[in-house]
Amino acid sequence: MKLFYTLLLSMIAYGSYSQKETCNWYFGSQSAVSFCAGIPVNMGGSSMIQLEGCASVSNTNGDLLFYTNGETVYNKLNQVMMNGTGLTGHQSSTHSALIVPNPGNANRYYIFTADAGPYENPPNDGFRYSLVDMTMDNGNGAVINTHKNILLMDSCTEKIAATLHGNGTDYWVVTHRWKSNAFYAYNISASGIGTPVISLTGSFHSGNDDNTIGQMKFNPQGNKLALAVYLDGFYELFDFDNNTGAVFNPVQLNIPTNISSYGVEFSPSGSLLYVTTAFFGEVYQFDISSGTAQQIQASMTQVGMSAVTNGSLQLAMDGKIYLAHDNPITQGHAYLSVIENPDAAGPACSFSYNDFYLGNSKSLLGLPSFPSNYFLPLGIPESTTGNSALNIYQHDGLLWVEWNAAKSVSVLFEIFDLTGMVIWKENLNQTIGLNRFYIPLSKTGLNLLRISGGKTSLSEKFILLKK
C-alpha cells in the first residue's frame, strides 16, 4: 500500500495551487477569465459591469456556479439569478461582495456585502449577508428570500476578508467598523453565523469618507491580515488567531507617497506582502518574515510601476498575483498586470506591466475576492509553526511527511488531534538522509505530528483541510 501512495504522490505536479473553486474570474467591464487549464484564458460571456469589488465561485471540478457585484447575482448561464437583484453592495465598494461556502450544506453559499463609504448613498447599508441555494431553479441557484440582505453591522468600511477556521471546517469572515479601531470576526459554521469576536487594535478608521476605501486580505495560511487605508495613505499588518478569531499585533507600514493606498495581497507562502497606490501607479513589496516592525518597514522595495490607475491585487490558482487597472479616459483598461514570481524577493518577483490581454472586455478597479485558504500551495509546507526540519504536505486526503535524519534508527510516528487522542501511530525505520512517509488521514482541523526515537525528536502542528 505504501508503494501505491509513493507512486500517486510522484504524479502530483509541484507548484500547483488552489482548489478549483477559484477557477473562473468575473470582474470589470464584462471580463471573464478561466484559470482551469493552469493558465489564464479569456472566456467572454459575462453579463456584469462592476467598477470595484466582486466575487465568483465554481464547484470542485471548476464549473462556474455564480458571480456577483454585490448588487446583482448572475448564474452559470450569465443570467440574473432568481431573486438575485437588490443586494446592498455597491459599484464603488472595494469589497462589495465575498462568497463563502456554507460548512453545513454543500449546496448553499453565503454572499457577504459591504456598502460603499457614506458619501455614496447615506445612510450606509452596512455589512450584510444573503444566502444562495444551488438546488433551486433547476440547479441554477436562487437567493433565498428569507435570508436576503440580513444586517450584521450598521456601518463598516469597504473591507471584507475570509479564511478557514483552525478546525479545518468552519470559516472566519472579518470586516472593520467605520469610525472605530474594531475588527469584527464572524465564525461561519454548520450552525450558522456566530456572534462576532471583536478586536480593538490598530488605527482608528475615521476622518474623510475615502478612508473607508482599500483592500483587506488574509494570507493563504490564515495567520496574517493586511489592509490599506486609502486617503491617509498607509497599510496595516496584523496577526490573526484562526482558532479564536482574534486580530492583534498591529504593524503600520508606510510608503513614500502616503496617499491613495488601495491594493494588498500576500505571496503564496505568506512571507511577502504586496501593496499598491491607485493614482501613483506604484507597486511595493514588504518582507513580513524579516523580523520586527522596523525590519519589515525597512524591507520595503518598489517592484513595479503602472502608467494607469492601479486597482485590486489578487492571487490566482497559477501562483501568480494579478493587478487590475482602470483608465477613465478609455473607460477601463485592456490588460491585467502580473507579478510572475510573488515568493521571490525584490525585483526577482518579476512585475510585468500590461501582461495579460483581456480581448474584447476591460478591467476596471476590481478583481474577484475569495477565501484565502483556497490558495494554500500544494508543494510547500502547510504547517503552522514553520519547523524547517519537518515538512508536511496535503493532497486529496493523503498526508505527506518528509524529514532529514543523520542516523538510521527505529522511530515512533504519532499524530494527535486537539484533544490529545492518538489518531495514527506506527513504528518506522528511519534512514540516513531524506525520509518520506504517506498516510491517508481524514481527521480535519488542527493536529500534532510527533516523530521520536533514538536522538530523533521532531514535532509539528499542521492543519488538515476538508476536501
CATH number of 2-7+381-464: 2.60.40.3080
Percent helix, strand, coil in the chain (nearest 5)? 5, 50, 45
Digits of tens for pLDDT over the chain (467 positions)? 232 223 223 323 333 344 689 999 999 999 999 999 889 999 999 999 999 999 999 998 899 999 999 999 999 999 999 999 999 999 999 999 999 999 999 999 999 999 997 766 667 899 999 999 999 999 999 999 999 999 999 999 999 999 999 888 899 999 999 999 999 999 999 999 999 999 999 999 999 999 999 999 999 989 999 999 999 999 999 999 999 999 999 999 999 998 999 999 999 889 999 999 999 999 999 999 988 999 999 999 999 999 999 999 999 999 999 999 999 899 999 999 999 999 999 999 999 999 999 999 999 999 999 999 998 754 334 333 334 467 777 654 567 787 778 888 888 888 887 677 888 888 888 888 777 777 776 666 777 788 888 777 787 777 666 55
**Per-residue confidence (pLDDT) for residue 216, from 0 to 100:** 98
**Per-residue confidence (pLDDT) for residue 346, from 0 to 100:** 97
Residue recorded with cell 503600520:
252
Domains 2-7+381-464 and 19-375 share a fold: no
**Per-residue confidence (pLDDT) for residue 386, from 0 to 100:** 39
Residue 295 pairs in a beta bridge with none
Q: How many CB atoms lie within 10 A of CB 388?
A: 8
What are the sequence ranges of the domains in the chain? 2-7+381-464, 19-375
Taking alpha carbons only, the member of 366, 371, 286, 362 closest to residue 331 is 362
123 preceded by a cis bond (ω within 30 of 0): yes
- What does the block give as the cell for 440? 491517508
This prediction has a pTM of: 0.81
- Decide the pairing of beta strands 272-277 and 282-287: antiparallel
List C-alpha distances in Å: 293 to 131, 141, 225: 40, 46, 15
- What does the block give as the cell for 340? 510572475
Residue 325 pairs in a beta bridge with 310
Q: Is 204 exposed, middle or buried (0-12, 13-18, 19+ CB in 10 A)?
A: exposed
Strands of the sheet containing 301-305, edge to edge, are: 261-266, 272-277, 282-287, 301-305
Q: What is the CATH architecture assignment of 19-375?
A: 7 Propeller (2.130)
**Per-residue confidence (pLDDT) for residue 3, from 0 to 100:** 27
**Per-residue confidence (pLDDT) for residue 466, from 0 to 100:** 56
Q: How far is the C-alpha of 100 from the C-alpha of 37, rounded, in Å?
A: 23
**Per-residue confidence (pLDDT) for residue 170, from 0 to 100:** 94
Taking alpha carbons only, the member of 140, 136, 159, 120 closest to residue 74 is 140
Contact 110/57 with Cβ under 8 angstroms? Answer: no
**Per-residue confidence (pLDDT) for residue 6, from 0 to 100:** 30
- Answer positive or negative: Cα dihedral of 154, 158, 164, 169: positive
Residue recorded with cell 479545518:
168
Taking alpha carbons only, the member of 321, 317, 181 closest to residue 238 is 181
Strands of the sheet containing 321-326, edge to edge, are: 309-315, 321-326, 335-339, 351-357
